[in-house]
Amino acid sequence: MKGGTVSFDLLLWLSPIPLLLLKKMKTGYIIAAILVGMSGLLLSSNCPYIYLISGFLFLLFLCDLRYIYERNFRRILKNHSIVKTGLTAEIEELEKESDSLKTKIILLSEEISTYEMLYSISRILVKQIEQEKLIKEIKAAVMLVRPTLKLFEIYPAGVKTRERQIDDQNFQKFEIPIILKKEMLGILECGLVKKDDSAHFADECKIIAAQTALALKRANLYKLVLERSRLDGLTGLYLRRSFLQRVNENFLLSKRYNTFFSLLMIDIDHFKKINDTYGHPVGDEILKTLSQLLRAAVHPDVLLCRYGGEEFAVFIALAPVEEVQMLAENLRKTVEEHTFIMDLKVTISLGIAYKHQVENTVGELIRKADESLYKAKQSGRNRVVEWK
């Protein structure tokens, strides 16, 4: 066997081996390459058959290893594919369940928020008896739970609802009457951005309206009782107790900020004679008319009181002495010139006391104003007297 031939034989023997290293090369192609190499070796060399057989066995051994490797690799890929498919399916199921849980959580949170809103409103309705605060707190509770809500208003009976222009197509407005035993107590006006939610919220508003009806009725009764406890039923002016309470408050503020005030005591001249001559109904009409004249003649911030019987009190804050004197004289003239029921003419006497004449208490102010009134009546009535 010559050197050149040996080298060529070795090249033929070794040529299939690199094919074994190619992972993507199939085993059948490698065996075909080995057979080609062997046939080329048989045709080109005179080497002993023992070397040919041993080389052939060695190549078969390498092919077997390659076959085992590919078989295990395919099995691993198959298992990996099965596992991947299973995991993908499980992940999809978990994602579906997660989405379902998220939806349930959102719905549950909305239900909880609605429950909390209704619970808060029920607490407000039970506790609150002042109409303005009641409406304000209900509105705050609803707007807190419903951030998408554009408007929520409660209009008590007698209050005109606002005219609102709806420009947004997604905006839906509705009104629910607040009725209790066929009595119209107000209107609940509401509008939502999301129309899909309006029907559900309308049902909630009906519950709110039903509860609000009871609360508004209670607030109205409380207001009525409060007014009757503070105001005189005949004249509509402050009763003596409420008037003194307000005067005391103003007296303390005046001492703190060193402001000025005055007190007028007014008495109808010969009122007992009018009652005895024309009867008490005529006397009541005179009292009502006089209270209207007083209210029309003074500023809304001035405190008016039916102090007792035919006696009235007027508390004036911040006005200077000259203005108070002019007001008192105008009141006297207005009453003197007015024609009362049955064409009766009535006059009044007035006594005035000022802050700088008082040292400590409101009682001292009232006493001095009353003494001035007594002097006016002693001096011939139908006049104004200042305390000196």
Query: What pLDDT score does 308 carry?
Result: 87
Query: What pLDDT score does 57 carry?
Result: 57
- Catalytic-labelled residue, pool 310, 322, 323, 337: 310
Q: Where are the alpha helices (DSSP H) in 128-268?
A: 131-145, 198-230, 240-257
**Which of 361, 386, 383 lies closest to 372 in space, CA to CA?**
386
- Measured between alpha carbons, how far is residue 31 from residues 38, 40, 386 in Å? 10, 14, 137
Rounded CA-CA distance 73/23 in Å is 10
One-letter amino acid for residue 292 of the chain: Q
Both tokens of residue 319?
Answer: 């006005």
227 is catalytic: no
Do residues 189 and 143 touch, judged by C-beta distance below 8 A? Answer: no
- Predicted TM-score (pTM) of this structure: 0.53
Query: What pLDDT score does 206 carry?
Result: 86
Here the contacts of 373-376 (C-beta below 8 Å, separation 24 or greater) are 373/265, 373/266, 373/267, 373/349, 375/351, 376/349, 376/350, 376/351
Would you write out the chain's pLDDT as a tens digit for each of its 388 residues? 444 555 555 555 565 556 555 555 566 656 666 666 566 555 555 555 555 555 565 666 666 666 777 788 888 888 888 888 888 888 888 888 887 777 776 666 666 667 777 778 888 887 788 888 888 888 888 888 777 777 888 888 877 777 766 666 666 778 889 888 888 888 888 877 665 666 677 788 888 888 888 888 888 888 888 778 888 888 989 999 889 988 888 888 888 888 888 999 999 999 999 999 999 999 999 999 999 999 999 988 899 999 988 999 999 988 888 999 999 999 999 999 999 998 999 999 999 999 888 777 888 889 999 999 999 999 999 999 998 8
